[in-house]
Chain A
Amino acid sequence: MNTPFPTSPESKHPDMAHNEVDPMERVDLPRMSPWVVIVFLVMLGFGYIGLWRWFLRG
């Protein structure tokens, strides 16, 4: 059920050279910076509220 990935320092296989590839590294992170995307999403949120503000003010 659980896939083994003995990369932990407390692993029984401290020799990192013989470990499997860390499963997280099978997925590349998107090229965009995560922190820039957070700022972008927050700006989008303000834009969305701004649209409602504009609509409700008439």
Chain B
Amino acid sequence: MEETQPSWWLIAAYLLLMMSIGIWGRKRVVSVEDMAVAGRNSGVWLIAFSVAATWINGTTLIGISALGADFGLDAYWSGGSFMLATIWIGYFIIPRLWETGVITIPELFGRYFGQRHRTVSLFLVILRDLGVTAGTIGALTVVTTAVLKISVLESLVLWLGVTSAYVFLGGMWAVMVTDAIQFFIILAGSIGLLIAGVAQAGGVSGLRNTFDPALLDIFGRAGVTQVLAWIVIGLAITGSYQGLIQRGFAASSALVARRGFLYGGVIASLWYITPPLIGMIGRTIYGPDLVAEDAFVTLAFGVAGNQFASLIIVCVLAASMSTLSSTINTIASNFTLDLYARFVEPTASTVKQLWVYRINVLIVAGLAALIYSALPLLIELMWIGGRIMGASVAPALIGLVLFPSVRKAPTTVMAAMLIGGGIQAFWQTFGAIREVSSVVIIWDLDPILIGLPITIGILLIGTHIETRQSEDELATAA
């Protein structure tokens, strides 16, 4: 790794391309709606590639490769389940959400149930998204400080600076266009690495002879319950991933939103086998002594020449920045619409709203840097925030979309979010851990398998009781 000389020209060219898209996109942005949802005018393929790129970040490449090295093909589920869930929400949830005309998830809860629901859902959504933002910049900092020999401060300023600059200028439009370009960079880098790794291992036949058979088990080291938990986590978190769902709001129609999510979900589902395979090949070439979380970087620098290694670095940058730009933009939309517009100045002019939004983009980027600096272990914590949201807001949101009766049960929805989120947090703190692997915790019983069924149970029983009471009151009044 020390002998590799990354090409700063390639990295600079990539950063300049991203910045130029932001500069080009600034003329398209004249309102908060343009900033948050690209003026609701995007086409199918822009949404599809943007959806796929948003789901792939530095943690995906490095973390899921590490899981592949440890758990083999099972590792697919730790990310692939999110992609299958993307297809599902694209089919059933996104078109209905598009029709409501909302920009943020808390706004939707506010419209159906009132301001208290909006506040609670805002807290839960931001808890997850800020964690993801800080975790993503953290993972990128860990890699780039090691590979490019830059300081933590330089890393934070450079990557967060460029990302927030193009979001500041071009809003969601710049986010989606850069996402589409970043997707192809990710594709080139990751597939190229996979092919180089296979060649290094002696081709497909060489791999077949040397693979540890345990890596090919469908329920291998992770076990049935953990694989099931990964599937449930993917379904739950995707159900209310606001940064993703806002891509649907950016579509020109409900049908375009549906097709964009379907295509993006299918493309990403197919791609997501790549990081586990990279990890498995790394394990096969470098043996049991390889630290799992080093599998991706070790393979990249072990099999690649300088120029190819630079492409891999740009691939990691692209993967991380596509996620960062999404979460920064989505949290800025929360700060602007769910906080500023409600509590500070509801009657602000369009121009002022736009500037407040842009300043919020910079504030969110600064917050992410601060959180990572204060809590560098947030890469782990971002999953905790995700699980809490997945066991509270997600089932409530899916219930709201699929069942009209849930829309008439505000007390039940509030109880489900608070109790489900609370139990989830409690179980994550006190639940029994079977194994702490290099990048994930393997639980005796994953907390999501406790929290989510309880939330669904509250929604089912509570809605039945609450709506029946309402009908009885109406009948009495009549």
Contact = CB atoms under 8 A, between A and B. Distances in A.
Contacts of B273: 48-49, 52
Contacts of B88: 34, 37-38, 41
A5 B207 CA distance: 59
Interface string A8-23: 1110000000000011
B32 A1 contact: yes
A9 B96 contact: no
A42 B88 CA distance: 11
Interface in B108-130: 111-114
Interface string B67-98: 00000010011001100110110011001111
B211 A56 contact: yes
A19 to B, nearest CB: 12
A1 B31 CA distance: 10
B28 interface: no
B112 A45 contact: no
Contacts of A2: 101-103, 107
Contacts of A25: 404
A53 B407 CA distance: 45
Given A2-B101, A48-B269, A50-B218, A42 B84 contact: yes
A10 B109 CA distance: 12
Given A34-B88, A38-B235, A49-B73, A23 B407 contact: no
A7 B410 CA distance: 12
B100 A56 contact: no
A8 B207 contact: no
A26 B337 CA distance: 25
B216 A57 contact: yes
A53 B73 contact: yes
Interface residues of A, number: 33
Given A29-B92, A57-B208, A10 B407 contact: no
Given A45-B76, A53-B218, A29 B402 contact: yes
A29 B92 CA distance: 6
Given A1-B32, A58-B205, A42 B231 contact: yes
B102 A10 contact: no
A53 B100 CA distance: 43
B231 A58 contact: no
Given A24-B401, A27-B96, A27-B254, A9 B218 contact: no
Contact of B99 (A8, A23, A46): A23
Given A42-B84, A56-B208, A24 B77 contact: no
A2 B406 CA distance: 22
A49 B111 contact: no
B280 to A, nearest CB: 8
A37 B404 contact: no
B221 interface: no
Identify which of A23, A37, A44 gathers the most chain B CB atoms within 10 Å of its CB. Answer: A23
A48 B76 CA distance: 10
Contacts of B95: 27
Contact of B77 (A3, A10, A45): A45
A29 B404 CA distance: 12
B33 interface: yes
Interface string B47-64: 000000000000000000
Given A8-B410, A55-B204, A56-B216, 10 more contacts: A2-B101, A5-B111, A29-B96, A37-B91, A45-B80, A48-B80, A52-B73, A56-B208, A58-B204, A58-B205
Interface of B: 31-33, 73, 76-77, 80-81, 84-85, 87-88, 91-92, 95-103, 107, 111-114, 204-205, 207-208, 211, 216, 218, 231, 235, 254, 269-270, 273, 277, 401-402, 404, 407-408, 410
9 closest cross-chain pairs (CB), A and B? A3-B101, A10-B114, A58-B208, A41-B84, A24-B96, A23-B99, A27-B95, A23-B100, A27-B96
27 contacts: A1-B103, A2-B103, A3-B101, A7-B112, A8-B113, A9-B113, A22-B404, A23-B99, A23-B100, A24-B100, A27-B98, A29-B92, A30-B91, A38-B235, A41-B87, A44-B84, A45-B81, A45-B84, A48-B76, A48-B273, A49-B76, A50-B218, A52-B73, A53-B73, A53-B216, A56-B211, A56-B216
